[in-house]
Structure 1
Amino acid sequence: MISKLMAGIYWLISKVMLFWHTVWDSILPDHRVLSTNWQWVLAIVFLVITVRVVLFPIFVKQIKSQRAMQAIQPKMKELQEKHKGDRETLQKEVMKLYQEEKVNPLMGCLPMFLQIPVFIGLLHVLRHLRPGQSEHQQTLYGWTVKEFESAVDARLFDAPIVAKFSSSAADLLKIDASSTAVKIVAAILVALMITTTYLTQRQMIKKTGWNSDPQQRMIQKFMLYGIPFFTLTSGWYFPIGVIIYWVTNNAITLGQQYWVLHKYPPPANANTTTTPFKAGGKQTADAKQPSGFGALFSKAREQAAAQQRTNGKGGPVKATGVKANGAKANGAAPEPAGPSRAPKPGAKPINPKKGGAAKRQSG
C-alpha cells in the first residue's frame, strides 16, 4: 500500500517537473547559459512554487492556529498551576480547553508534514536519474528517454543537478562532471540552505516572541537550532537539485511569513518575550525593569512607601539619600527648618563678613 502511494507521488512529482521543463524549454534558448541548463533549474523552482500555492491556505491556517495557541497560554498556565502534580487531570483539562477554544495544536505542523512527501519524491526522482539505466528504468514515472538523458546532463554552473558534494570520482566521471565545480556549487547551496532554514525560524520567533512554557520553548529552540544543524550534517548527501528545492522553499517561506505576520499580527501576550531577539530571554513584555536614573528613583519611591507603611503616617517621608525634589543628596546635611533668610524686597543686602567683624569689635 505504502509503495503504491509513494510510486504515485514519484509519478506526480515527475509530471510537475516535466510540465515546467516543457514550458521553460519553449521560452529559453536550447543551450546552456552561464554553464547552466536553466530549463531544469527553473522546473525545480516552479515545482516548489506549485506546491506552495496549493498549500498556501493551509499555511494561513497554520499561522492562525499558532495565534490561537498564544491566546490561550494564560489559561494553560492557570491549568498547570491548578493541577500541578496531577498529570492525567491536566491532560484532560487541556484537551477540554482545546475543544472549547477550537484550537488544533497539530495544525501548526501540518504544512511541514505535507511537504515531506514532496521532498522525498523529488529526492527519489533525482537519485533515479543516473546514467547507464535501461530503457525501462528511464521511462519510469512518465519520463521519455530524451527527457531522462536531458535531466541527467542538466547543470547549474557546470555542476550536474543530480550530483552531490559526497559524489565519488567514479560517479562524477560517468556524468563527465568536475569534482571542483560540484563541491563549490554544493557547498554554497548548503550554506544557503542552512542560513535560510535558520532565518525562517528566527523570523517567526522574533515576531511572536519566546514562549514562557518550557516545553513550547524547547520546541522553538529545536526548530531554530536543531533543523539547521540537521541540514548541515545531511546537506552534503543531497543532490544539488534537492538543495535548490530546499533553498527556494525557504525563500518563499520567508516571503509568506512576512506577509502573514503583518496581515495577522501576533496578539499581545504576557507569556512571550519581546525583542530584541535573544534566545531564551527572560524579560517579558509586562516585566521590563527600569535602568539608570529610572531605577534609582523607582527604588527611592519604594523605600519611601515602605517607610510610610512602617510608621503608619500619611505625611511625606524623606527617602535615604534622596531629596524631596528627586535630586541626590550626596551626603549633604539637610537644610534647617525655619523662617526664610532671603532679604525683603527693597531692603539693603547685608554682608555677612562685615556684620561678623562689627560684632567682634563691639564685643
Structure 2
Amino acid sequence: MDTVLGPLYTAVSWIIVQFHSLYGLVFDKNSGWAWGLSIVSLVVLIRICLIPLFVKQIKATRNMQALQPKMKAIQERYKSDKQRQSEEMMKLYKETGTNPLSSCLPILAQSPFFISLYQVLNHIAQGKTVGVIDKPLLDSAREAHIFGAPLSVKFLDSASKVESLHATLTDVRVVTVVMIVLMSLSQFYTQRQLMTKNVDLTVKTPFMQQQKMLMYVFPVMFAVFGINFPVGVLVYWLTTNVWTLGQQMFVIRRNPTPGSIAFQQRQERLRAKGKLKEDPEQVEARKAAEAARAGRQQPKRQSKAKRQVGGAQQPATGGGKKPAQEQQQKPEDAKPKQAGGSARSTKSGQRKGQQRPKHPTKK
C-alpha cells in the first residue's frame, strides 16, 4: 500500500507541514495547537475541494426524490415478489441515469486522504520519516500534545509507550473517549437530521431504509474503530463530521428536498416575508387543506360523570327512560314539600285522581 499511496503520503505530509509553518508563527512549533490546527486546516482544504462532489450529491438526491412516485408504484405492484421489485428498481435507475450510491461520493473521495493521514501519523508514532516530514519535524510532531494526549498515540497503546512521549495513559484514554463520543453524536445527529427533516416521509424506499440503517451503524463503527486510531486521526475525523453537519444544516435550510418537513418550513418562512409567489389555485388548495385539518380535530374526551349528566338531559323515545316533560315537572313537584306537604304524597294523590274516572267506565 505504501508503494501505491506513496505520492499521496507526500502530498498530505506537505500540506500539513505548510500549515504547521504558518501556525508556528503564532504558536510554539512543538505545541499541539500548531500540529492540531494543521490537521484541522487539512480537513477544511479537502472539504472545500470536495464541494463540487457535494453539489453532485445534492442533484442525485433530487433525482431520487423525483423518482419516488414511480418507485412507490413498483413497490405496490411487486410487493409480493421482492426479487422482481429489485430488478424493476435497478431498471428504473438505469433508464433515468440515477445512482442511489451517489450520496457516498464525498465519503469515497475522502478515503484516500484519510488513509494517507492515518499512515503519516502511524509513521510518526513509530519514529519513521514519511513524505516531506524529516527528522526534526518528526521529533516535533511526536512531542505535540492535545489536552495532554500525544497526536501519534492510540487508545490501546501501552503505558510505557505513552510515558516515553511524556504523557499518561489516563489522559490519552480520556481524550480518546471524549473524541469518539463527539464523533458518534455528530454523525448520528447528521443522519437523523437528514431522515427527519429533509426526506419525504410519505414514500418509503430502499434508499430511505438504507439511510435509516446508517444512522445507527456509523456511530457504532466510530466507537469500534476509534480506539485503533491515533489521536491525530480522531481530530481529522471529528473535524470532518462537524463540517458535514454544518454543511447539511445550511443546505437543508436553503435548499430542502421538496415534500419534506424542512421544505414546508422554508415555504412558511418565505410566505411570512412575502417572498413566495403562489397561484390563486395553490392558495385556495392550501386554505382548503388547512380548513380540513382544523375540521378533523378530535372531540374532547368527557369524564364518566359528564357523560351520565349529558345522557340524562337528552330526550328518549323508549327503553324505559322518562320523557322530557316529566323531567321538567320535577321542580314543580318539589313546591308542596316546601309548604309542609310531601312531594311523594302529592304525586300519589295526583295519580289516584287520574285513576278515579276509570272506575265508572269499568262498571
TM-score higher than 0.5:
yes
Kindly tell me: are residues 116 and 31 of structure 1, through their superposed partners in 2, closer, same or farther at Cα, counting changes over 3 Å?
closer
Aligned residue among 93, 105, 108 for 2:100:
105
Moved more, 80-89 or 16-25: 80-89
Listed as ranges, the matches of 1:1-363 within 5 Å are 3-26=2-25, 28-30=26-28, 36-84=31-79, 90-130=85-125, 133=127, 137-138=128-129, 140-209=130-199, 213=204, 215-268=206-259, 294-296=297-299, 329-330=310-311, 332-334=313-315
User: In 2, distance between residues paired with 1:239 and 1:49?
Assistant: 19
Q: Is the 8 A contact 1:154 1:160 kept in 2?
A: yes
Kindly tell me: are residues 88 and 200 of structure 1, through their superposed partners in 2, closer, same or farther at Cα, counting changes over 3 Å?
closer
Aligned partner of 1:19: which letter?
Q
Could you tell me how far 1:221 is from its partner in structure 2? 3.1
Runs of 4+ that moved beyond 6 A:
353-357
Aligned partner of 2:11: which letter?
L
User: In 2, distance between residues paired with 1:75 and 1:106?
Assistant: 18
Structure 1 residue aligned with 2:272 = none
Q: Is the 8 A contact 1:211 1:217 kept in 2?
A: no
Could you tell me how far 1:92 is from its partner in structure 2? 4.7
Aligned partner of 1:294: which letter?
Q
Aligned partner of 2:6: which letter?
A
Q: Is the 8 A contact 1:16 1:47 kept in 2?
A: yes
Kindly tell me: are residues 352 and 211 of structure 1, through their superposed partners in 2, closer, same or farther at Cα, counting changes over 3 Å?
closer
Kindly tell me: are residues 330 and 15 of structure 1, through their superposed partners in 2, closer, same or farther at Cα, counting changes over 3 Å?
farther
User: In 2, distance between residues paired with 1:185 and 1:88?
Assistant: 48
Q: Secondary structure at the match of 2:28?
A: coil
Aligned partner of 1:199: which letter?
Y
Q: Is the 8 A contact 1:71 1:269 kept in 2?
A: no
Q: Is the 8 A contact 2:197 2:260 kept in 1?
A: no
Q: Gapped runs of 5+ residues in structure 1? A: 275-285, 298-327, 342-350
Bigger share in helix: 2
Moved more, 42-51 or 257-266: 257-266
1:205-244 Cα offsets, whole Å, 9 max, x none, are 1212458546434422321111101111221221111111
Could you tell me how far 1:90 is from its partner in structure 2? 4.0
User: In 2, distance between residues paired with 1:212 and 1:202?
Assistant: 17
Structure 2 residue aligned with 1:279 = none
The count of residues paired between Structure 1 and Structure 2 equals 299
Q: Gapped runs of 5+ residues in structure 2? A: 266-288, 301-308, 318-324, 326-330, 337-342, 355-363
Aligned partner of 1:244: which letter?
V
Aligned partner of 1:330: which letter?
G
1:176-224 Cα offsets, whole Å, 9 max, x none, are 2222222222222122122212122122112124585464344223211
Which of 1 and 2 has greater Rg? Answer: 2
